[in-house]
Amino acid sequence: MSRTSNRRRGREFQAGLWLARHPGSVLGPGAVTASGVELGWTATGGVAGAAALGLAGWYRAHPDTFDRHVGPYLRAWRRRWVRYVGARWNNVLRACELASTNRKTGEELLPRLLRVRSASPHVETLFVKLVKGQHLRHFEAKLPELTEALKAERVAVERVKPMVIALIVQRSEPFTEVIDAPEMPEETEAVSFTDIYVGEDEYGDEFRLGPLGQHVFVAGATGVGKNSIPASLLRGMAPALRDGLVRLWICDPKQMEFAALAPIAHRYATATDACTELVGEYVADMQATQRELSSQGTRKITVSRETPLNVLIADEMGALLAYGDGASARELKKSLALVGSQGRATGHSMLGLVQEPTKDTVPVRELFTVRVCLRVTSASHVDMTLGDGARLRGALADEIPNTPDTAGVGYAVRQRTRTPLRIRSAYVSDDEITELVNFVNTPPNHGGGHLRAVS
């Protein structure tokens, strides 16, 4: 049987391993030295100066391509060797009690920083190799300490593969400007019902959602801009609404933000009883589609005028399910549960909006497949919206400042890793909603359903 030695690895081999892991530390100085010997130091300096001048010219002349192709690498290199150079990184781990000790040799074991990526000036990702005996949970428990030790605004964590995790370090607020409303496509062929632009994420990439096959749940305190997410989705589907490929159903107890959409809605209701009737008809339409698909031997719809995508917007779900009449709320809860559990294949999707995402307020919240948490007033609301442990992993929606310039800022979770992702939804103004309504109501090829108010 093999035994573990109680001797440490020699310093020279530790140094050799470090150089093997960081070949640039050898190749860079080595290439400069070889060039200086072979070509002369004047020529070497000229080449280096020309390269630097070329990069500076590129940086000034074409910021978009420089920031896309060069900026992330230069930024990651600088941060790796300035902020996370060996001693600094190790001291952070020790201060946060994330170091371990080999019981036989007494050697200190420290999680190793594999690489740094910096796709955005505001956020960097640290890939860390754990030591034996450590788990993602050890870092989750120390995120507040890591945030302070790294002098960051926020730190989130995700598992990459066995023994490797990623720390997402937010250095500054990535969203300092309002994001313009999405442009409306001209033709239905340009609409993707599973991939519609609604904003941006903290890496500068587009944040996209799709109502086909998904139910979207948006939670946030009053005034955070919840309605901009469904409004952005509708702008992205505008030609399909105009041509009758999408039918819009709206429950609007507040009668504020969504009242302007009434002229393009297939059904629109405000009072609780009327909303209950509307959702009951929505369920009946879903069940009729189920029977049609069953008779055809088909598992899901293809969006067309004969089988349109139906989108139900339920604003102020608390008013519908918790604060109103008990009998109507129970009936509505039952109907929404049916839609949430059966509507995806038939093209019957829900967009639910709520201020207080508790189980008592929204008993059907677990049936929503995609969830977005904007600024909320309680730390517990984060996990209620995004799932258990979301706040522990870095979704600090309750710490978003309550100021007008943070409207639309919040968190979603990555579908594969369940890691919190900071996002900002585009802002859709009243004028842009009016533009949407006018677009949908403008011929030619207008095949949408007519409005039949039930309130």
DSSP 129-168: EPPTT--HHHHHTTHHHHHHHTT-SEEEEEEEETTEEEEE
Strands 420-425 and 452-453 turn out to be: unpaired
Fold matches, 72-172 and 188-453: no
Give, to the nearest 10 degrees, the angle between helix 41-61 and helix 24-39.
120
Q: Which helix (H) or strand (E) holds 371?
A: strand 370-374
Strands 246-251 and 309-314 turn out to be: parallel
Residue 442: the pLDDT is 87
188-453 topology per CATH: Rossmann fold (3.40.50)
pLDDT at 449 over 50: no
DSSP string, 21-38: H-THHHHHHHHHHHHHHH
pLDDT at 447 over 70: no
Please list, in sequence order, all residues whose beta carbon lies within 8 angstroms of the beta carbon of residue 404, skipping any fewer than 6 positions away: 223
Q: Of residues 60 and 116, which shows the higher confidence score?
A: 116
72-172 topology per CATH: Threonyl-tRNA Synthetase; Chain A, domain 2 (3.30.980)
Q: Of residues 315 and 329, which shows the higher confidence score?
A: 315
Residue 259: the pLDDT is 92
Q: Of residues 328 and 401, which shows the higher confidence score?
A: 401
151-197 pLDDT, tens per residue? 999 999 989 999 999 999 999 989 989 999 999 999 999 999 999 99
| Tokens of residue 228, six digits | 């901009």
pLDDT band, residue 415 (cuts 50/70/90): confident
List the chain domain ranges: 72-172, 188-453
| Mean pLDDT, rounded, of the chain | 86
Number of Cβ atoms within 10 Å of the Cβ of 245 = 22
Asked if the bond preceding 253 is cis, omega within 30° of 0, the reply is no
300-319 pLDDT, tens per residue? 889 999 999 999 999 989 88
Residue 278: the pLDDT is 95
Mean pLDDT over residues 422-439, rounded? 95
Distance of alpha carbon 215 from alpha carbon 299, whole angstroms: 18
64-121 pLDDT, tens per residue? 786 676 778 888 888 888 888 878 999 999 999 999 887 777 788 899 999 999 988 8
264-277 pLDDT, tens per residue? 999 999 988 899 99
Residue 303: the pLDDT is 92
The pTM (predicted TM-score) of the whole model is 0.81
Residue 108: the pLDDT is 86
pLDDT at 1 over 60: no
